[in-house]
């Protein structure tokens, strides 16, 4: 086991600034109204830095800078932009550990995950979109002997990006890499719970980008996010967050007829067919590992498999093994490499999860394991920790229908394929789903019939850059990742030419 030194202590890989201002036009700029807010680490609840509290004035300044930078950036060659994205990726790779520690300290997630997944995925996004933009081609159609239709890709100009707190650096880079590759300038607002990680990342790579191409305005949703999403000066709003906030973003953007990409909430089903149990131990083991994915990132994942549907034939055996497996998830200090579940990202989020633990009990669901807050002494005292929890109940309960966004899974049995599909689709959401079976016929049918943008078959929670990700139903509009993402950040120009 390795324990990374906490920021502010001897040997720390990350040293935060005491204050983070907005980053506008290539420099740090204090907030127009001079206000800051405290940023606590979920590891111990202690404030470790202060953050500029952005308002509409700050957003306007950032938009000025972005508009000044956008034309020249949009005219750079795709080769030049790709080179810059690749250099960003190289810089991040050389600083994998500090970035991983920064993300863990501010979000509370285990460093083993940020080292193995969050930061490597973020790096790969820059490389992927560097490659994709160079491979993108326009088109030419011959209309008749004299006339040709050309299609060109053009950047949108200045785009707004608003992100959540559950993967601070990864969410920023998921949005920035395709927008920059496509030639846009960006004003990005990080979540108020986790802005410092984005600044740690930015400080590392800022010199690689022309001033004004990436601008960061910190602050709260209603004060900084709303003016950004409502501005007639942005060509598009890309948002990741709650479904309720997504509705507001659509309203704001509709005032100016601006396109939106919305990556919203989920209540993903994870379906285990009987043959999982009947098969060899290795496959069964993999499926049990897939079940425990509800606790990955403390359950603060939009695609958290928060509803487990288990076929009745082996329901009891599977569930016993799943409970035992869940009880082997090691909680503890997020900066220990052995820790498998760390702290919830904020006190508000902890309170929300605890309230759902009460709701589940009041609804008559049975707690099979967990169900309590974890309160540590010593250096983790004051942090936001909760046990991985398994509820058994039925799909009409609130704990099966509402997004808890914590390490809580609600389990229910099903009879057959049709029953599984009925339960799986009985939700407002449609983001992710898991299907576990060796019968590829069943897997294919289920995969095509579940109303979700991403269905994992015999795996869960993989996010390769080249696989499209996004929601059906109230889980969102549009897709992220995959080369199709470039289209979401570009206009198509048609030139119809008669010679
Ligand atoms: P949130 O909606 O509360 O906040 C997200 C961002 O929106 C923050 O930056 C916040 O400041 C801003 N915001 C809030 N109100 C706003 C307003 N009125 N105008 C403009 N901006 C506003 O979400 P959260 O709690 O930070 O994140 C958790 C949610 O994000 C969950 O629902 C989760 O499922 C979802 N999520 C979805 C995906 C996905 O890809 N589909 C990925 C990660 C998280």
The ipTM assigned to this model is: 0.96
Pairing of strands 408-414, 389-392: parallel
180-211: b (≥16 Cβ within 10 Å) or e:
bbbbbbbbbbbbbbbbbbbbbbbebbbebbeb
CA-190 nearest atom, ligand 1: 9
Ligand 1 centroid from CA 163, angstroms: 6
CA 417 to chain centre: 31
Q: Which residue has a Cα nearest atom 35 of ligand 1? A: 241
- What is the C-alpha to C-alpha distance for residues 225 and 223, in angstroms, rounded to an integer? 6
Q: What is the enclosing helix (H) or strand (E) of 494?
A: strand 490-498
What are the C-alpha distances in Å from 181 to residues 78, 246, 300?
Answer: 7, 25, 29
Ligand 1 centroid from CA 234, angstroms: 19
Ligand 1 centroid from CA 28, angstroms: 25
Ligand 1 centroid from CA 191, angstroms: 8
- Euclidean distance between the first and final Cα of the chain, in Å? 71
Instruction: Report which of 413, 388, 384 is spatially closest to residue 400, judged by C-alpha positions.
Output: 413
Q: Which of 245, 298, 349 to mutate to test the pocket of ligand 1 (most atoms within 8 A of CB)?
A: 245
* DSSP letters for 257-275: T--EEEE-----EEEE-TH
Q: Taking the CA of residue 456 as centre, how many other CA atoms within 13 Å lie in the half-sphere pointing to its CB?
A: 25
- What is the C-alpha to C-alpha distance for residues 121 and 462, in angstroms, rounded to an integer? 10
Q: What is the enclosing helix (H) or strand (E) of 216?
A: strand 214-216
CA 354 to chain centre: 22
Q: What is the enclosing helix (H) or strand (E) of 98?
A: helix 96-107
Q: In this structure, what DSSP letter does residue 439 have?
A: -
363-392: b (≥16 Cβ within 10 Å) or e:
bebebbbbbeeeebeeebeebbbbbbbbbb
Q: Which residue has a Cα nearest atom 19 of ligand 1? A: 226
Ligand 1 interacting residues, C-beta cut-off 6 A: 162-166, 189, 191-192, 220-222, 225-226, 229, 240-242, 245, 248, 263-266, 302, 403, 405, 431, 471, 476
- What is the C-alpha to C-alpha distance for residues 393 and 411, in angstroms, rounded to an integer? 6
Q: What pLDDT does 271 receive?
A: 98
CA-252 nearest atom, ligand 1: 19
- What is the C-alpha to C-alpha distance for residues 161 and 168, in angstroms, rounded to an integer? 13
Q: What pLDDT does 278 receive?
A: 83
Identify whether the C-beta of residue 486 lies closer than 8 Å to the C-beta of residue 133.
yes
Q: Which of 56, 164, 253, 299 to mutate to test the pocket of ligand 1 (most atoms within 8 A of CB)?
A: 164
Ligand 1 centroid from CA 470, angstroms: 15
Longest dimension (CA), the chain: 81
Ligand 1 centroid from CA 427, angstroms: 20
Q: Which residue has a Cα nearest atom 39 of ligand 1? A: 263
> pLDDT of the chain along its 499 residues, tens only?
899 999 999 999 999 999 999 999 999 999 999 999 999 999 999 999 999 999 999 999 999 999 999 999 999 999 999 999 999 999 999 999 999 999 999 999 999 999 999 999 999 999 999 999 999 999 999 999 999 999 999 999 999 999 999 999 999 999 999 999 999 999 999 999 999 999 999 999 999 999 999 999 999 999 999 999 999 999 999 999 999 999 999 999 999 999 999 999 999 999 999 999 987 789 999 999 999 999 999 999 999 999 999 999 999 999 999 999 999 999 999 999 999 999 999 999 999 999 999 999 999 999 999 999 999 999 999 999 999 999 999 999 999 999 999 999 999 999 999 999 999 999 999 999 999 999 999 999 999 999 999 999 999 999 999 999 999 999 999 999 999 999 999 999 999 999 9
CA-302 nearest atom, ligand 1: 34
Which residues have a catalytic role annotated?
263
In the chain, count of helices (H) and strands (E)? 17, 25
């Amino acid at each position: 086991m390795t324990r990374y030194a906490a920021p502010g202590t001897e040997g720390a890989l990350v040293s935060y600034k005491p204050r983070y201002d907005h980053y506008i036009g290539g420099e740090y700029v204090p907030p127009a109204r001079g206000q800051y807010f405290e940023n606590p680490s979920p590891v111990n609840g202690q404030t470790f830095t202060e953050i500029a509290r952005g308002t509409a004035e700050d957003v306007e300044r950032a938009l000025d800078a972005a508009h000044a930078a956008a034309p020249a950036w949009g005219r750079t060659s795709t080769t030049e932009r790709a080179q810059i994205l690749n250099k960003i990726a190289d810089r991040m790779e050389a600083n994998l550990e500090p970035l991983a520690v920064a993300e863990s300290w501010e979000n509370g997630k285990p460093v083993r995950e940020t080292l193995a997944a969050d930061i490597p995925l973020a790096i790969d996004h820059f490389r992927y979109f560097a490659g994709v933009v160079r491979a993108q081609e326009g088109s030419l159609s011959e209309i008749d002997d004299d006339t040709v239709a050309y299609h060109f890709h053009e950047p949108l100009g200045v785009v707004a990006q608003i992100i959540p707190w559950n993967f601070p650096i990864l969410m920023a880079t998921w949005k920035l890499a395709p927008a920059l590759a496509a030639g846009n300038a960006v004003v990005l607002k990080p979540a108020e719970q986790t802005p410092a990680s984005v600044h740690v990342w930015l400080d590392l790579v800022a010199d690689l980008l022309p001033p004004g191409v990436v601008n960061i305005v910190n602050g709260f949703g209603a004060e900084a996010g709303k003016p950004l999403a409502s501005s007639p000066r942005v060509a598009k709003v890309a948002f990741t967050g709650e479904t309720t906030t997504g509705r507001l973003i659509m309203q704001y953007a509709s005032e100016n007829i601006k396109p939106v990409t919305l990556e919203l909430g989920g209540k993903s089903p994870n379906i285990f067919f009987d043959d999982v149990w009947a098969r060899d131990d290795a496959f069964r083991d993999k499926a049990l590992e897939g079940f425990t994915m509800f606790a990955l990132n403390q359950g603060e994942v939009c695609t958290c498999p928060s509803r487990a549907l288990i076929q009745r034939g082996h329901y009891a055996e599977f569930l016993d093994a799943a409970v035992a497996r869940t009880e082997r998830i090691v909680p503890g200090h997020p900066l220990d490499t052995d820790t498998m579940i760390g702290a919830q990202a904020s006190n508000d989020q902890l309170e929300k999860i605890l309230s759902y633990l009460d709701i589940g009990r009041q609804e008559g669901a049975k707690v099979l394991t967990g169900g309590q807050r974890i309160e540590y002494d010593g250096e983790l005292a004051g942090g936001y920790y909760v046990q991985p929890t398994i509820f058994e109940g039925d799909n009409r309960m609130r704990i099966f229908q509402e997004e808890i966004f914590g390490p809580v899974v609600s389990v229910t049995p099903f009879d057959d394929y049709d029953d599984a599909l009925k339960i799986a689709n009985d939700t407002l959401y449609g983001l992710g789903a898991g299907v576990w079976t060796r019968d590829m016929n069943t897997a294919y049918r289920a995969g095509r019939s579940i109303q979700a943008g991403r269905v994992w078959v015999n795996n869960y929670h993989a996010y390769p850059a080249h696989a499209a990700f996004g929601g059906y139903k109230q889980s969102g509009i549009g897709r992220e990742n995959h080369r199709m993402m470039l289209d979401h950040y570009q206009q198509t120009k048609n030139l119809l030419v008669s010679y």
